[in-house]
Structure 1
Amino acid sequence: MLQGFKDFIMRGNVIELAVAVVVGSAFAAVVDTIVSNVVTPLLNSVGGAEVSGLTIEIISGNESTRMDFAAIINAIIVFLITAAVVYFVLVAPMNKAMEFRRRGQEPEPEEISDEVLALREIRDLLAQRKTDGTL
């Protein structure tokens, strides 16, 4: 049982997944900070001088009823940038490496059933008869 667990942990994809999670979360924090301090103020400035950005208060004067659309757009941008970086920095190169590994390996021979072998033999005999003119 312990050997199976050790084999599972030592598999490359488990370690790669752990690295991706750590790098992704660290990068998400960086992207979130940049987007919050650059993109969100730009989005809030779209509303004009007398409007408080992309927010709507359902009940005027009650801040707990405020809907902040800039924060939603901020979260979407952070997600898309983080996903793109994780894909292009970790996933795409890993897929390329796996492709190179597969190229070096011979494909496994497929198992052929007796029925398929019999049908191939019949096909070959018919083709031979056709070329010999004994049909």
Structure 2
Amino acid sequence: MLKGFKDFLMRGNVIDLAVAVIIGVAFTAIVTAFTDGLIKPLINALGGSDAGQGLGFEILGGNQSTFMNFGLVINAAINFLIVAAIVYFVIVLPVKHVQERRKRGEEAGPAEPTDVELLAEIRDLLRAQQQNR
């Protein structure tokens, strides 16, 4: 059971996924800092004289908890669009390009074992089973 788990972890796509998640989190922090530091002040400037409030309004005057902050929503949407664009142009398009090249036969995919290699592996496994009995 532990060998199977080790094999699962050592497969390339699991490691690639872990790396992608870590880089995604780090990149999201950069994009958030960009939007909070540069975009949000611009949006808040449109909100009026009270720059602390930003773009929005209070439903009940004088009650801060009823403030509807449109600037925050716009900021999150810009955040999402930047991350989505980077993922599309850095990951999706290159992978799509490689897949198209493989379909045209320009780039070889992963080699599959031949029948002889498979039979030799089965033979070796049967031999190992016989020796363990």
State the TM-score, normalized to the length of structure 1. Answer: 0.65
1:53 aligned partner: 54
1:17 aligned partner: 17
Identity %: 52
Q: Match of 2:12, as an amino acid?
A: G
Stretches of structure 1 lacking an aligned partner (at least 5 in a row): 109-135
Distance 2:71 2:5 in 1: 46
Q: Match of 2:76, as an amino acid?
A: A
1:7 aligned partner: 7
Stretches of structure 2 lacking an aligned partner (at least 5 in a row): 113-133
What stretches of structure 1 move > 6 A for 4+ residues in a row?
none
1:74 aligned partner: 75
Describe the SS at the equivalent of 1:67: strand
Describe the SS at the equivalent of 1:34: helix
1:90 aligned partner: 91
Distance 2:8 2:97 in 1: 23
Q: 1:81-120 residue pairs with structure 2 within 5 A? A: 81-98=82-99, 100=101, 103=105, 104-105=108-109
Distance change in 2, residues 1:46/1:28 (3 Å): same
State the TM-score, normalized to the length of structure 2. Answer: 0.66
Distance change in 2, residues 1:10/1:91 (3 Å): farther
Q: Choose between structure 1 and 2 for higher RCO, CA contacts under 8 A separated by at least 6 residues.
A: 1
Q: Is the 8 A contact 2:45 2:54 kept in 1?
A: yes
Distance 1:33 1:64 in 2: 25
Q: CA deviation at 1:95?
A: 4.1
Q: How many pairs are equivalent?
A: 107
